[in-house]
A and B are shown apart, each in its own frame.
Chain A
Amino acid sequence: MPINILMPALSPTMEKGNLAKWLKKEGDHVKAGDILAEIETDKATMEYEAIDEGVVAKILVPEGTADVAVNQPIAVLAAEGEDVKSVQAAPGAPPAQSDPLAAPHPAPAAPPFPKTGRDSGPGPSMPSSSKAGRESGPAPAEPHPLTPSSGRVASVSEPGAAPTTNGHGRIFASPLARRLAKAVGIDIVRVAGTGPHGRIIARDVEAAKPGGAALRAPAPPTPTPQMPAVTPVQAPADDKIRALFEPGSYEVIPHDNMRKIIAQRLVLAKQTIPHFYLTITCTLDKLLSAREDINVTAPKGPDGKPAWKLSVNDFVIKALALALIKVPEANVTWTESGMLKHKHADIGVAVAIPGGLITPVVRKAETKSLITISAEMKDFAARARARKLKPEEYQGGSSAVSNLGMYGIEEFAAVINPPHATILAVGAGIERAVVRDGKLAFATQMKATLSTDHRAVDGALGAELVAAFKTYIESPTAMLV
């Protein structure tokens, strides 16, 4: 029986991905665990492992194809002893629409397979054990019911995210979790499982309820039905925009996944989070001299390079983390049902990469030494540029740092990246004349602006956080105790 290799959902919210590269060609023998292909997801390139054994009979989707719908067959594997040539591609959907400008939220791609008749998501059947087209894939994406609280227009069907748990369709979820999810209208596949081997258990559904902690992060690419009713001002249609420019005076660069995600998330953030901004000036002289002292003591490694070289940003990350622990009421995430008060300070750090940016998270930054933070950021930055970060490395966090100081930007305000409640925009350290004890003096100063989610953190509280941050920055030795 030939086995269809399906486009995997490698990230929880992935609906489509780009088939970056085939690592096997037709005729190659494949063992379970072999890397078949590289798939470009939202923000990362990930390897796709084979689950079954066999010979690649046919590659259906050539490498370099963009926007391949999850669960679309991408290759056919002939089982041991089967005639490779006679293997036919199992019935599959043609590649989904590929014009990214056509519609920002396409209706779900035509179900790749006839429905199995189940209404609660894929059942226990495994695609690889399929007997016929009937069961040859997980249940097709279905528009799922809107929650009663949802104000969304019913005709906008939700693209069903694909099951992700084991890369070939089956969702591991407890019976109770399935039933709870059905009762509250949450599509179980969108719930992040925390049980054994990622099994979705009741508490995960509780957390994903409207106002619960979250659906699978990163925030879904489309506003989820759990979002409060927001009627966005409709942007003008693409053709109307194009009409404003002379034909031939521009070229159209299709959006890649990262661009789409950035656009969707930031629109969501600005439309749902009431931002306000607090700016403070920090004197950096002590920090700069501490940094220098620490950096000169770095032993040389075998390659002759110093073992560490702390940046000002490493201090900023640590200072913000400690400030959040000192002002725990500001170390929070807003949810409709209650405030998530975090026990650790997980700090996202915006890293610019070609084509966009990504925010890897330094976990428990308050517990880490500056050297550890610095090493972690170097590793994150390198892997971010290679698009090799894992989803769990850039999801979550309670605050973030965005630093444009190196571009000479004096001050700016950043957009909060949910589920964070704050983000600190850090400007350049600039030498200024200041008045100290009635006399003019020189000082290197930096401006930092905290964008704050007013639902979660009020003005005075935000100011307290900023003040605590300033204290750590200006007395950096306090960070060492």
Chain B
Amino acid sequence: MAESFDIVIIGSGPGGYVTAIRAAQLGFRTAIIERAYLGGICLNWGCIPTKALLRSAEIFHYMQHAKDYGLAAEKPSYDAAAVVKRSRGVSKRLNDGVGFLMKKNKVSVIWGEAAIEAPGKVTVRSANAEAPKGALGPGTYEAKHIIIATGARPRLLPGIEPDQKLVWTYFEAMVPERMPKSLLVIGSGAIGIEFASFYRTFGTELTVVEVLPQILPVEDAEIAGLARKAFEKQGIKIFTGAKVTRLDKKPDSVTATIDDGKGGTQTLTVERVISAVGVTGNVENLGLERLGVKIDRGAIEIDGYGRTNVRGIYAIGDVAGPPLLAHKAEHEGVVCVEAIKGLKPHPLDKLKIPGCTYCAPQIASVGLTEAAAKEKKLDIRVGRFPFIGNGKAIALGEDQGLVKVIFEKTTGQLLGAHMIGAEVTELIQGYVVAMNLETTEEELMHTVFPHPTLSEMMKEAVLDAYGRVLNM
């Protein structure tokens, strides 16, 4: 007799495990299936370990600039192995934490590779990775509702296939044996730019090639332009509208042929290449084709509540399409199980999902870019406030950056906010809350922001949109 659950979630990334906790809170008998690491890519090979690496880079940067603060740091240096070790330790700690959370919420962990036999039935085969203590093993499990949260993996482009040695994906880039002398990063999304920023801080010669006309393609053009200037000032070479057409590998180097998009080609020899050209959904080997689950360009098609076209089968997170962000996956999962429970949640509003890139300077945004707002023919007011006008920023020695807000003219609706500079990834949430509560410029202007903080710039930018800026 197969063990039976109300909800079985395939994949224990941030989407999957948060969904499991919420499902358990709602009283569902819940299980989560994982084949490799509790916490998925995010905790083990993504968001979290890269933040640990970037923190080391940030401190190293400050050590190099100790003099600016009246301090002395004799010949700052680093130990690459120790930097990596710290990052792995952070992941391990959180990975254990997920195990604890599953136990605490009485979510059964099933260890292995899952496939959906039929709606209501999942078979699990044994996986290579060692099972954590107390996990259930391979077998057949029954579930009234099956939620696919299998995430995504690096996309492969023909000609620049990763080989684990010379051409890296984020997996290898996260655990370097040493800092390479030179590095080519293909793709300038969040992953590519964060690694570029990390390695550049430790002195690697860095080139970034982006096929689109702007780096950080999803960000507001003005912010991306400022980012580009900042990176170039740090010595990163950037090609936009350009393509790597060929990689010639030697024993310990790679020569890349770059089509600069203006009819010219260049060659560039680097020690290592990072392919960060996006990710693709893990939709294979789940039995989805047989069940007739609709898949469009590597993503499972869902409605606002995570429901696929097959009853009893749901999908959330990266495997269900963009934006590919952990917090989007978490929220989709929560909405999905709340809808199953009959709680009538609102579907996720994709325009209110913030995005953060933890390079130096940091970049954070939510909502429409200026270009997107104009494309929608919206009548807008734009407000800006630079870091240079903010006391706290100057005190921090971080006077480069910009806060930009976009309002709809007639309604005062906050359509978007875009920031670049120190700590903006921690600031953006203020605007996200504002957008979700549907505040207008009036409430933001009536809100008291603490002095002296970087957050004051958020109010100033709003004031600027209405011609009332104070400190500029």
Interface residues of A (CB under 8 A from B): 174-177, 179-180, 183, 194-195, 201-202
Contact = CB atoms under 8 A, between A and B. Distances in A.
A175 B346 contact: no
Interface stretch (B193-201, B218-226, B272-280, B406-414): B406-414
A180 B413 CA distance: 9
A223 to B, nearest CB: 27
Given A194-B346, A201-B438, A176 B412 contact: yes
B413 A202 contact: yes
Contacts of A183: 410-411
Contacts of A195: 346
27 contacts: A174-B437, A174-B438, A174-B439, A175-B412, A175-B438, A175-B439, A175-B440, A175-B442, A175-B443, A176-B411, A176-B412, A176-B413, A176-B438, A176-B439, A176-B440, A177-B438, A179-B411, A179-B412, A179-B440, A180-B411, A183-B410, A183-B411, A194-B346, A195-B346, A201-B438, A202-B413, A202-B438
Interface in B260-297: none
Nearest to A367: B311
Interface in B13-68: none
Which residue among B438, B439, B442 has the maximum number of chain A CB atoms within 10 Å of its CB?
A: B438
Contacts of B410: 183
A183 B410 CA distance: 9
Contacts of B438: 174-177, 201-202
Contacts of A175: 412, 437-440, 442-443
Contacts of A179: 411-412, 440
A174 B411 CA distance: 12
Interface string B389-410: 0000000000000000000001
Scoring A175, A183, A195, A202 by chain B CB atoms within 10 A of each residue's CB, the highest score goes to A175
Interface of B, helix, strand, loop or mixed by DSSP: loop
Nearest to A176: B438
Q: Is the interface of A mostly helix, strand, loop or mixed?
A: helix
Nearest to B413: A176
Contacts of B413: 176, 202
Contacts of B442: 175
A180 B439 CA distance: 12
Given A176-B411, A179-B440, 8 more contacts: A174-B437, A174-B438, A176-B413, A177-B438, A183-B410, A183-B411, A201-B438, A202-B413
Pairs of residues from A and B, 5 with the lowest C-beta to C-beta distance, nearest first? A174-B438, A176-B438, A175-B440, A175-B439, A176-B413
A469 B412 CA distance: 49
A194 B344 CA distance: 9
Contacts of B443: 175
Interface in B400-440: 410-413, 437-440
A165 to B, nearest CB: 16
A463 B443 CA distance: 54
Contacts of B346: 194-195
A180 B412 CA distance: 9
Interface in B428-465: 437-440, 442-443
A179 B440 CA distance: 9
A177 B438 CA distance: 7
A66 to B, nearest CB: 35
Nearest to A180: B411
Interface string B333-368: 000000000000010000000000000000000000
Nearest to A174: B438
Contacts of A177: 438
Interface in B293-349: 346
Contacts of B437: 174-175
A177 B440 CA distance: 10
Nearest to B439: A175
Contacts of A180: 411
Nearest to A196: B346
B438 to A, nearest CB: 3
A288 to B, nearest CB: 32
A180 B438 CA distance: 11
Nearest to B311: A367
A195 B345 CA distance: 9
Nearest to B345: A196
A342 to B, nearest CB: 14
A194 B443 CA distance: 22
A183 B411 CA distance: 8
Contacts of B440: 175-176, 179
Interface string B158-201: 00000000000000000000000000000000000000000000
A194 B438 CA distance: 14
Contacts of B412: 175-176, 179
Nearest to A343: B303
A174 B437 CA distance: 6
Contacts of B411: 176, 179-180, 183
A117 to B, nearest CB: 18
Contacts of B439: 174-176
B416 to A, nearest CB: 14
B430 to A, nearest CB: 16
Nearest to B440: A175
A120 to B, nearest CB: 12
Of B411, B439, B442, the most chain A CB neighbours within 10 A belong to B411
Contacts of A174: 437-439
A149 to B, nearest CB: 18
A194 B349 CA distance: 14
A183 B409 CA distance: 12
A174 B410 CA distance: 16
A175 B411 CA distance: 10
B29 to A, nearest CB: 23
A181 to B, nearest CB: 10
A180 B440 CA distance: 11
Nearest to B443: A175
A202 to B, nearest CB: 5
A16 to B, nearest CB: 31
A174 B439 CA distance: 7
Nearest to B344: A194
A175 B443 CA distance: 8
A175 B412 CA distance: 9
B60 to A, nearest CB: 44
Nearest to B414: A176
A202 B249 CA distance: 56
A5 B222 CA distance: 56
